[in-house]
Amino acid sequence: MTTAPAPPQRSRPATAYVAFGPGSALGLPQILDRFGDERPPLVLAGHGAGGRPWLAELRATLPRHVFTTLPGGYPTWEKIDRIADLMNRLGTGPIVAIGGGSVVDTAKVAAVRAAEAAGTPRRPVTAVPTTPGTGAEVTPFATVWDFTGNTKESFAGVAPDAVVVDPELTRTLTTEALGGMVFDTLAQGMEAAWSAGSTPEAQAHGTGAVALAAANLERLLADPDDMAARSAISLAGLYSGRAIAVARTTVCHALSYPMTLRYGVPHGHACGLTLGAVLAYNARTTDSDCRHPRGARGVRDIVARILDALRCDSPDAAARRLEDLLAASGLAGYDAHDFDDERLAAEAMRYDRADNNPRRLDPDRLRALLAGLRQPSSPRSE
């Protein structure tokens, strides 16, 4: 693994400019003009973007640019440093990241690494997400993965300078990919709302994301040409990103990391596997095990708002609805995976996201929660 100083942990403002709506990506030249940089931009796309019809259309709006693609998989230091070196060698200007969360996170960190290596100001980053739900386009942090050491690192102070959310770019997603992305949105929204670090802003954005995502995933699965539903899901992803930028995520994300690192489960799918069980667990928060500043009653009030967003009358009904949405998206449930529950629980507890959960957890409680997912007809773990 490439070793180098981590990106600076300085504070940067949230994304300064957001363009939203079908066709908004065609306005890229005007957005780049805002930066006043005469150098050709570097357009960075995911490895699967080459055959997408929208990519040629977007590139045609930028007659003078450098284009490169990333290999598949999650951000690693090798990929990040390759892009940073390319930026400095070719003297490119602003970076345009067109792709999913991995492409956007790679660009966010590469812009900082290139500036550090050259001793020059950081180049502006414009994020153009082609998947709904990662939140990477509006968060001030990024994740770098180490699959050799089975770890991941999170870095702050790397918010993009502009973001273009064009729902048209999500048309080429498969049902499974779309479902995984929407479950990332649902997890981010719910976790930011109940997080021990939640605020009224995070709760509003989080529950808003949940309501939009849950209602419109079913519509979009039934009719992939429903642009209103597709736009609503893209907006839900934007809201959930805003929510976690303030409050961060909790134990569902902590559990997802070893699922991805050790078992190869895609990130959004992994987040969704425990979402219902954690919702039910947090709904039973008491004064003796609460770590949220609003107290146990406050946590239960937040859970009630999430239930309203899901249009469910109980935590168990919400868990069943989430399981149904997984199945409708072609995504296998927890019990279909050959996970080592004890190892997952132990490794998840090493991430600070687990400590962000509003109800206290320890490896034994977390292991019991996971075991309960293998008996879906039984009562949820206390």
Give CA 48 to chain center in angstroms.
19
CA distance 285 to 241: 26
Which among 260, 251, 255, 258 is positioned nearest to 280, based on CA atoms?
Answer: 251
pLDDT in tens, the chain (382 residues): 333 333 333 334 455 789 999 999 999 999 999 999 999 999 999 887 777 888 999 999 998 999 999 888 888 999 999 999 999 999 999 999 999 989 999 999 999 999 999 999 999 999 999 999 888 899 888 889 787 777 778 878 899 999 999 999 999 899 999 999 999 999 999 999 999 999 999 999 999 999 999 999 999 999 999 999 999 999 999 999 999 999 999 999 999 999 999 999 999 999 999 999 999 999 999 999 999 999 999 999 999 999 999 999 999 999 999 999 999 999 999 999 999 999 999 999 999 999 999 999 999 999 999 999 987 554 454 5
Q: Which residues contact 352 (CB under 8 A, 6 or more apart)?
A: none
Which among 183, 94, 108, 180 is positioned nearest to 138, based on CA atoms?
Answer: 108
**pLDDT on residue 7:** 32
How would you class 338 by CB atoms within 10 Å of its CB: exposed for 0-12, middle for 13-18, buried for 19 or more?
A: exposed
**pLDDT on residue 14:** 52
Determine the CATH number of domain 17-170: 3.40.50.1970
**Same topology between domain 17-170 and domain 175-372:** no
**Residue boundaries of the structural domains of the chain:** 17-170, 175-372
For 175-372, the fitting CATH number among 1.20.1090.10, 1.10.10.10, 1.20.58.110, 3.30.420.40 is 1.20.1090.10
**pLDDT on residue 2:** 35
**pLDDT on residue 146:** 80
Q: What is the dihedral of CA 204, 244, 111, 57, to 10 degrees?
A: -60
Q: Which residues contact 265 (CB under 8 A, 6 or more apart)?
A: 256, 259, 273, 337
Rg (CA), the chain: 20
**pLDDT on residue 4:** 34
Q: Is 328 helix (H, G, I), strand (E, B) or coil?
A: helix
Q: Is 129 helix (H, G, I), strand (E, B) or coil?
A: strand
Q: How far is CA 235 from CA 167, 169, 193, 341, in A?
A: 9, 13, 17, 34
